[in-house]
Amino acid sequence: MKTVYFDNAATTCIRDEVIDRMTEVMKFNFGNASSSHSYGRQSKALIESSRKRIASHFNVSAAEIVFTSGGTEADNLVLRSAVRDLGVTTIITSKIEHHAILHTLDQLVEEYGIDVKYVDLNAKGDVSITHLESLLKSNSKQLVSLMHVNNEIGNKLDLKAVATLCKSYNALFHSDTVQSVGHYKLDLQDIPIDYLAASAHKFHGPKGVGFAFLRKHSGLRATIFGGEQERGLRAGTESIHNIVGLDEALHMSYTHLDAERVYIQELKAYFIKQLKAACPNVSFNGQCEDSEKSTYTLVNVCLPMAPEKASLLQFQLDLKGIACSRGSACQSGSSQNSHVLTEILDDEHIKRPSVRFSFSKYNTKEEVDYVIEVLKAFITD
């Protein structure tokens, strides 16, 4: 059976070169990085070398990179410590953030009674900068948390504009950049952001490892306790092969970024063109039709079909070997509508099936043709 993997926003396959590097480390560098003997020192050297090279991609110091198990842990570290240790009492966010943000905020409201304010969105899911500024006009200790690239609809936030605005009001700014790190270059000397989160498996690295960027002298403290790893900010024996894999995947992503971005962008444009031709009544959620306002890696489509037929769509696509997402992968097993689409779609379109297709360098136009053929046959049958 033909198979097509169009769910790269959920996770990506690991590059062969990354697997080779990780295998080498697992075989020859198994020492505990906290040990003082040569095996430990070798492992520690690998970690610090990776930290330094990762930091160089963002024009920051190595001390500002803290390794985590992924984006979710990095988000939790920033939000929880900001409230507990920095005295943040108000957090401004949006209702279409990843659940790593929204569910953490729910917990912080329960534990600390913080005030959560939601910035207005337009019909396409874009953040209202005007409303954000009005929310920032407060005397409370504030933190803004807004994602760079939305994981479901692909909308891009102007990080520099928001970071600069937050700075002008003395508010801290955190961004979940899980969908953009490895796909966009971010100069954090030019962008005055305080914190960001990243995850290796979104840019052809291993699962279970990511990092938080914490601006120097952030004042944040650990949320996981035990040893003194990561300068006391994240206890636990380091997963050396995963950290090296993260480093290698990020380095390769940025080394080949320009060529791979052009290729994937053309693939996305081809997908949109072919889908419009095959299904004239299709609509696109968020800004994913706009190459300037949306990431080049995904498209979220609302398909014209009756609800009773729509319930079989995901099953039919899977039956034909096509991997994609009804919403984000975090929600695909849920019977509930996507919280992102619920916020931006009208009553008519929310009843229709919406599917996210996300692309990588490993996808082809032939795969696009096959998916369009399957979709057209199912819709018109």
Return the active site residues.
330
CB atoms within 10 A of CB 175: 27
CA distance 185 to 34: 32
Query: Residue 4 corresponds to which tokens in the numbers above?
Result: 């097509």
Which residues, including other chains, have CB under 8 Å from residue 88's CB and lie 6 or more apart?
A: 82, 114, 141, 142, 143, 172
Q: What values do phi and psi take at 323, rounded to 5?
A: -100, 120
Strand-pair category, 298-302 with 322-323: unpaired
Cα angle 167, 170, 174 (rounded to 5 degrees) comes to 60
Burial 300-330 (b: 16+ CB within 10 A, else e): bbbbebeeeebeebbeebeebebbbbbbbbb
C-alpha span between 120 and 118 (Å, rounded): 6
Q: By three-state DSSP, how is residue 370 classified?
A: helix
Give the sheet arrangement for strand 172-176, strand by strand.
65-68, 210-214, 195-199, 172-176, 142-145, 90-93, 115-118
Cα separation, 239 vs 211, whole angstroms: 12
CB of 3 closer than 8 Å to CB of 321: yes
Query: What are the start-end ranges of the E strands in 122-254?
Result: 142-145, 172-176, 195-199, 210-214
Closest CA to 198 of 320, 314, 51: 51
Parallel, antiparallel, or unpaired: how do β-strands 210-214 and 65-68 relate? antiparallel
Distant-in-sequence, close-in-space partners of 156: CB < 8 Å, separation ≥ 6: 148, 149, 180, 287, 293, 294, 295
State whether the Cα torsion 257-259-264-266 is positive or negative: positive
